[in-house]
Structure 1
Amino acid sequence: MDKARRDRDAEGRARNARPRDGLGRPLPYGAEGVERQPEGIVRTAGQSLADAQRLLDAGMPFHAHEVFEDAWKTGPEAERELWRGLAQLAVGLTHAARGNAAGGGRLLLRGADRISGYRDPYAIDVAGLTAWARGLAARLDGPVDAVAEAPRLTSVP
């Protein structure tokens, strides 16, 4: 595609403006997609977890990944690997729901390894999430239902 015709954001960076489905897959221009998760939002840890849980429960793990990515990019340096690991869990579920068992499994395991050293910050159920990710990765053999497989992020309802 000609560079002059590429979709660009307000800062002039290349940014695909195609609508996306609930799993983040691009749809044809003009199709009705789901609302995109705004990028670069600074949230508290509690708000990040609540927003991501709402998106996971709605079967939108790609969008939950975007929330975690914001937390990893805007949060304290000491917590970056935690949020990065949570983002990998969400995008691992995204790939699993899309039917990419190998890629989904790798990301789930990578995310589980990345968060496993944390001791339940913000009531995040690290042990439960790690077990969930490893269990899901072990049984992937085709597309999964993102809603049915959505994990609980915290030990607090």
Structure 2
Amino acid sequence: MAEPGGRRARDRDEEGRARNARPRDGLGRPLPYGHRGVERQPEAVVRAPRESLAEAQRLLDAGRPFHAHEVLEDAWKSGPEAERELWRGLAQLAVGVTHAARGNTAGAVTLLRRGAGSIAPYEEAPPHGVDVAGLGAWAAALARELPGAPAAPGAADLAPRLRG
């Protein structure tokens, strides 16, 4: 569908909100319309914490950190207020892996550090078996290593363990 001037009209959902319906690759990069992308995660799915962590881990292990971030973002937005920073931090860590695999070292380092900072307050009593201490150490080590890496690492090679 084209707008006046030949530009493509914005994709919209049933409520008229802008939604990008372009297919995406495994790292969440938009592909041209008509190309075959990977299956996208459904949005605004409310899952139990155990299910969110299992699905995010499955996606991280499959080299799809962008999609894992979407699952964790749903948990962040739908979870109890007391856990929102935990889920937000986990989503930020997944975005950090996404940036690293895309070759955006500066973005990766920023998101890894931000995510580790967001989850750090939960280290004393980590909810849902999340390995807060291990994830913090993993994020710090990866943030130190990435700037000197000769090439962008594969996303599946970077996948952290979310639970201890």
TM-score, structure 2 normalization:
0.91
Whichever residue aligns with residue 140 of structure 2, its letter is: R
Give the distance between the partners of 2:49 and 2:113, measured in 1 at CA: 23
Q: Which residue of 2 aligns with 1:79?
A: 83
Q: Which residue of 2 aligns with 1:131?
A: 137
Q: Give 1:49-68 correspondences, 5 Å limit.
A: 49-68=53-72
Report the alpha carbon displacement of residue 69 of structure 1 after superposing the two structures with TM: 0.4
Distance change in 2, residues 1:150/1:107 (3 Å) = same
TM-score, structure 1 normalization:
0.95
Identity between Structure 1 and Structure 2 (%): 69
Q: Which residue of 1 aligns with 2:158?
A: 149
Distance change in 2, residues 1:96/1:4 (3 Å) = closer
Give the distance between the partners of 1:29 and 1:106, measured in 2 at CA: 31
Give the distance between the partners of 1:93 and 1:151, measured in 2 at CA: 9
Report the alpha carbon displacement of residue 70 of structure 1 after superposing the two structures with TM: 0.3
- Structure 2 gaps of 5+ residues are none
Report the alpha carbon displacement of residue 117 of structure 1 after superposing the two structures with TM: 1.0
Whichever residue aligns with residue 101 of structure 2, its letter is: A
Q: Which residue of 1 aligns with 2:32?
A: 28
Q: What secondary structure, in the 3-state scheme, does the structure 2 residue paired with 1:94 have? A: helix
Give the distance between the partners of 1:109 and 1:4, measured in 2 at CA: 37
Give the distance between the partners of 1:22 and 1:56, measured in 2 at CA: 10
Which protein has the larger Cα radius of gyration, Structure 1 or Structure 2? 2
Report the alpha carbon displacement of residue 4 of structure 1 after superposing the two structures with TM: 8.0
Give the distance between the partners of 2:15 and 2:79, measured in 1 at CA: 23
Give the distance between the partners of 1:9 and 1:137, measured in 2 at CA: 37
RMSD across aligned positions (CA): 1.4
Aligned length: 155
